[in-house]
């Protein structure tokens, strides 16, 4: 079946394009009623349902017939890292390609002038057939190049001796603020750097010389365009880049100026750079419908799937201790949140463990009490482990949680091993948030997690892991609720509830065309529903060839 597109006969087309789009089912999420027709004028939806039929009479109106497709609001990924995916094209992506990590690193070394950095990312020690990389393994490949291999979670990395020297780290280095150093049985650094110990090297403060090589914006245009194509193929129309640097923002601006920004992009600027926003008087939402400031990003604890998140109760953490890592002390966090809140800037604070979530809420509650005139909704990124008391505090503070969509699917056995069955069953608890009246957003955390929103919807509906187990069956959502998470919920998280997430008059004409009816699909088959096309601003930006 092929989607038919034809132009009405009559006078020449209006300078502002008018389109009437038909499909067997159009889910608006603007109330409960679905429809079969919508009309767009320019980049906006003008009418839905019976009211849309009147637009067929306008001169030059175009009809797009999607036959038996299911049209839904465009998927909005409220927390992902597209710029890091683009960077992987210039670095070495160990998450894709043939050969073992050691073989691929050795090949990159052979092609690189001595003294130049070798930076790889996407590394997963659990799937390395030759065992976990460490300092000795990297030094066996080269000591003439500084080598840094970034874990897929971005919360840890492993460095060779030359790279450790350039960071100023050595065997006698003491405790690290907000981070940790891995050591072997003799006490020697094993090359593993946790949280701020390596993260502050990647995102150095304004005015500090960069340690790692920095790509020019022009070098990232093609890789970023390829990333957008991949996202569009998954049905994604909007993203929030959840850790953005000034250089990354410049690259997005270059894309915008050259007319290549087919994806709507919001950014959370890394908090080390947020003073520039405050001093310029820029509020959250500065920008336009294509590129805007969502707020500032802060990280409070470690990684859920990496076993470094900060919990109230002990667990066998990846650090070798019985808990994860706290990156900021409570006073430092409170000061940062207060300053940003007072300036009208949304904060998105990464907090996985329940202890970290509680600490973040302390800071947000204090900031709201000090400046009640600021009503902006702050975010807790991931918000992975919560109880009912925390959920109620989140509701009272008008915070938007942004949990993982598909981590239960991809990391089920790991979650059980770290946190035990009871806590694992409550990971990414969309159910509790929705039951409490909390608007909750959709997030892939890609490339740390799988990109596809349809896999996330399947995971939220079934709570089934890739091993076939079910974690917390009572935490499951309906299909319509899960769809709302990745549309209306994400729009709330980026401050765009008035623009995105619904098929309704005045909203942006961003929608995803699916090859079968989501609501008539078996829950375990949702991820296999084909994406036929993706439209942004009433323009088709991707198609599988069938509409």
484 vs 285, 376, 405, 426, CA distance in Å?
22, 21, 12, 20
Q: How far apart are CA 249 and CA 253, in angstroms?
A: 6
Same domain, yes or no: 415 and 522: no
Domain count, the chain: 3
- Whether 513 and 490 map to the same domain: the answer is no
What's the longest Cα–Cα distance across the chain? 83
Residues 178 and 228 in one domain: no
Q: Are residues 431 and 495 in the same domain?
A: yes
Quick check: is 209 in a domain? Answer: no
Structure confidence by residue, pLDDT tens digits, 202-236? 877 767 777 888 888 889 999 999 999 999 999 99
175 plus 274 within the same structural domain: no
Q: End of a domain among 202, 229, 254? A: 202
Q: Which of 141, 176, 202 is the last residue of a domain?
A: 202
Q: Which of 105, 81, 109 is nearest to 93 (CA)?
A: 105
141 and 232 co-located in one domain: no
User: CATH number of the domain that 65 lies in?
Assistant: 2.30.40.10
Shared domain for 232 and 311, answered yes or no, is: yes
Residue 197 lies inside a defined structural domain of this protein: yes
- Listed in sequence order, the residues at least 6 apart from 533 whose beta carbon sits closer than 8 Å to its beta carbon are 3, 66, 512, 513, 540, 542, 543, 544, 547
Establish if 207 belongs to a structural domain: no
Helix, strand, coil abundance in the chain, percent, nearest 5: 35, 25, 40
Residue 342 lies in a domain: yes
pLDDT tens for the 547 residues of the chain, in order: 334 333 333 333 446 899 999 999 999 999 878 999 999 999 999 999 999 999 999 999 999 999 999 999 999 999 999 999 999 888 999 988 899 999 999 999 999 999 999 999 999 998 999 999 999 999 999 999 999 999 988 888 999 999 999 999 999 999 888 889 999 999 999 999 998 898 888 877 767 777 888 888 889 999 999 999 999 999 999 999 999 999 899 999 999 999 999 999 999 999 988 888 888 888 899 999 999 999 999 999 999 998 999 999 999 998 889 999 999 999 999 999 999 999 999 999 999 999 999 999 999 999 999 999 999 999 999 999 999 999 999 999 999 999 999 999 999 999 999 999 999 999 999 999 999 999 999 999 999 999 999 999 999 999 999 999 999 999 999 999 999 999 999 999 999 999 999 999 999 999 999 999 999 999 999 999 999 999 999 999 999 987 5
* Tokens 């050259």 sit on residue: 258
* 309 and 320 both lie in a single domain: yes
Q: Does 121 lie in the same domain as 37? A: no
CATH number of 350's domain = 3.20.20.140
Cα 332 to Cα 337: distance, rounded to the nearest angstrom: 9
Same domain, 425 and 297: yes
Question: Is residue 412 domain-resident?
Answer: yes
Q: Tell me, yes or no, whether 147 and 15 share the same domain.
A: no
CA contacts within 13 A on the Cβ side of 286: 17
Place of tokens 């080598």: 147
335 contact partners, CB below 8 Å, separation of at least 6: none
Q: For residues 217 and 247, is the Cβ–Cβ distance under 8 A?
A: yes
* Residue 247 resides in a domain: yes
Structural domain includes residue 116: yes
Position 508 in a domain: yes
- Based on the domain organization, do 510 and 532 belong to the same domain? yes
Please tell me the pTM assigned to this model: 0.91
The pair of structure tokens assigned to 293 is 């400031």
**Structural domain boundaries, residue 396:** 77-81+216-501
Count CB neighbours of 316 within 10 A. 14
């Amino acid at each position: 079946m092929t989607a038919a597109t034809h132009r009405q006969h009559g006078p020449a087309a209006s300078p502002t394009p008018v389109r009437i789009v038909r499909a067997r089912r159009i889910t608006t999420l603007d109330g409960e009623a679905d429809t079969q027709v919508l009309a767009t004028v320019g980049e906006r939806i003008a009418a839905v349902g019976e009211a849309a039929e009147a637009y067929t009479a306008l001169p030059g109106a175009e009809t797009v017939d999607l036959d038996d497709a299911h049209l839904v609001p465009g998927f909005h990924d409220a927390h992902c890292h597209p710029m890091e995916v683009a960077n992987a094209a210039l670095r070495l992506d160990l998450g894709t390609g043939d050969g073992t990590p050691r073989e691929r690193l050795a090949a990159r070394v052979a092609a690189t002038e001595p003294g130049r950095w070798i930076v790889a990312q996407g590394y997963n020690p659990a799937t390395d057939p030759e065992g976990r990389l460490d300092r000795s393994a990297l030094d066996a490949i080269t000591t003439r190049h500084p080598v840094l291999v970034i874990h897929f979670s971005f919360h840890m990395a492993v460095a060779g001796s030359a790279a450790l020297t350039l960071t100023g780290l050595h065997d006698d280095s003491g405790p690290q603020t907000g981070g940790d150093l891995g050591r072997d049985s003799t006490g020697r650094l094993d090359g593993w750097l946790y949280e701020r110990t390596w993260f502050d090297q990647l995102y150095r403060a304004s005015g500090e010389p960069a340690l790692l090589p920095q790509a020019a914006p022009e070098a990232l245009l093609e890789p970023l365009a390829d990333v957008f194509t991949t996202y569009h193929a998954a049905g994604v129309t909007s993203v929030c880049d959840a850790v953005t640097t000034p250089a990354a923002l410049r690259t997005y601006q270059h894309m915008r100026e050259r007319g290549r920004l087919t994806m709507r992009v919001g950014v959370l600027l890394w908090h080390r750079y947020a003073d520039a926003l405050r001093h310029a008087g820029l509020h959250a939402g500065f920008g336009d419908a294509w590129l805007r400031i969502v707020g500032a990003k802060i990280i409070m604890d470690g990684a859920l799937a990496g076993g470094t998140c900060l919990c109230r109760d002990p667990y066998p953490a990846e650090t070798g201790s019985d808990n994860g890592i706290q990156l900021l002390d409570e006073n430092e966090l409170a000061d940062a949140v207060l300053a940003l809140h007072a300036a009208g800037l949304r904060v998105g604070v990464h907090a996985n463990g329940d202890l970290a979530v509680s600490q973040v809420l302390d800071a947000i509650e204090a900031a709201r009490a000090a400046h009640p005139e600021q009503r902006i909704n702050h975010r807790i990124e991931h918000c992975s482990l919560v109880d009912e008391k925390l959920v109620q505090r989140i509701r009272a503070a008008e915070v938007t949680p942004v949990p993982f969509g598909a981590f239960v699917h991809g990391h089920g056995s790991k979650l059980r091993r770290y946190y035990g069955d009871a806590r694992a069953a409550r990971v990414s608890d969309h159910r509790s948030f929705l039951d409490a009246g909390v608007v909750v957003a959709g997030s892939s955390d890609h490339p740390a997690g799988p990109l596809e929103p349809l896999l996330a919807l399947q995971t939220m509906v079934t709570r089934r892991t890739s091993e076939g187990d079910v974690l917390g069956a009572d935490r499951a959502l309906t299909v319509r609720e899960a769809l709302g998470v990745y549309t209306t919920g994400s729009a709330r998280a980026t401050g765009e509830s008035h623009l995105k997430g619904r098929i309704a008059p005045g909203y942006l004409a961003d929608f995803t065309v699916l090859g079968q009816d989501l609501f008539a699909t078996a829950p375990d088959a949702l991820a296999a529903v084909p994406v036929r096309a993706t439209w942004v601003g009433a323009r088709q930006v991707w198609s599988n060839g069938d509409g």
